[in-house]
Amino acid sequence: METGWRKELDFGVLSSVDVLGTAVEMFTAGSGAPLLFLHGLDGIEGAAPFLRELSQSFTVYAPSHPGFGNSERPARLNRVDDLGYFYLDLMNLLSLDCPVVVGTSFGGWVAAETLTKEPDRASHLVLVSPVGLPTADRREQYVADIFMLSRQELGARMQLGPAGVGSNMATLTKLPEAELQRLMRNDEAASLYGWTPYMSNPKLADRLHRITVPTLVAWGAEDAIVTDTYRNAWARALPQASVETIAEAGHRLHADQPAQLAVRIAARAGR
């Protein structure tokens, strides 16, 4: 694995690493046991406070998924199933034998796909507000259609705290070009991976039994994106997992309660 550009940040390093010919943006921070963080549709920038908290207990590796942020995406890599294999390669290249693996929302889906392929590649798995299971049944919708919501409404429903940058057109027009480009790339990648079937792999539920590492599924008590029916579907598909609900948090649990969530993860991993 070759390293390209490198930029020092206030609590970590942002760099470019080569993963079998694909340049991937990687944020690293902290010290301690390794933790691989797989971000949601808000990108690694949307998880900055949470990554800071995690870095107090772990050495955090947080890549931007191929197609997100400043990461390249090979044309052949266009499904979340592909991302599962991609992250196994990345783990090999980083010599991450058994890291803690944490995925938020879309990243939870990616984490689950990865561990169904090689169940022994993590010491612990944490799925925060995961998607990936079928999101509807006939006329009943279990997960809000984010592609049909305005930026303002989506931002309001994703978390209890202030919505992120770019949550409405007024703020979009004031963003620097580099930040706007990141947002647009994130939106494009979200559509590529999650358009059809909507934010799900119909085969995932039949594979989740392969995950045998200690697993935590965490939800925000006031999640306005997924229904109780959807949460129960995850509980049935992963009966071996522990399930926790955290108060005063929405779908972006990691944004509403970063410190509390990080403490729970550290406790689970014995840190």
pLDDT the model gives residue 169: 56
Q: Which is nearest to 35 in space by CA: 52, 10, 11?
A: 52
Note the pLDDT of residue 139.
84
pTM of the model: 0.95
Q: Which CATH number characterizes residue 130's domain?
A: 3.40.50.1820
> Which residue bears the tokens 């990687």?
26
pLDDT at 16 over 70: yes
pLDDT higher than threshold 90 for residue 9: no
> How many domains does the chain divide into?
1
The predicted structure's pLDDT at residue 6: 83
Tell me: the pLDDT tens digits for 212-240?
999 999 999 999 999 999 999 999 999 99
Residue 114: which domain range?
A: 3-268
Q: Looking at residue 11, what is its pLDDT?
A: 87
- pLDDT surpassing 70 at residue 166: no
**Percentage of the chain exceeding pLDDT 70:** 94
Alpha-carbon gap, residue 72 to 228, rounded angstroms: 36
Query: How far is residue 170's CA from residue 163's CA, in Å, rounded to a whole number?
Result: 13
Is the Cα dihedral 83, 86, 92, 96 positive or negative?
negative
User: Counting beta carbons within 10 angstroms of the beta carbon of residue 115, is it exposed (0 to 12), middle (13 to 18) or buried (19 or more)?
Assistant: buried
Give the β-pairing of 140-141 and 58-63: unpaired
Residue by residue, DSSP assigns 26-56 as EEEEE-SEEEEEE--TTTGGGGHHHHHHHTT
pLDDT of residue 167: 61
Residue 1 pLDDT exceeds 60? no
pLDDT of residue 41: 94
Q: Is the peptide bond before 197 cis (omega within 30 degrees of 0)?
A: yes
Q: Which of 215, 219, 257, 259 is nearest to 240 (CA)?
A: 215
- Least-confidence region, from 151-160, 194-203, 232-241: 151-160
Task: Give residue 165's pLDDT.
Answer: 58
Q: Which of 105, 117, 124 is nearest to 216 (CA)?
A: 124
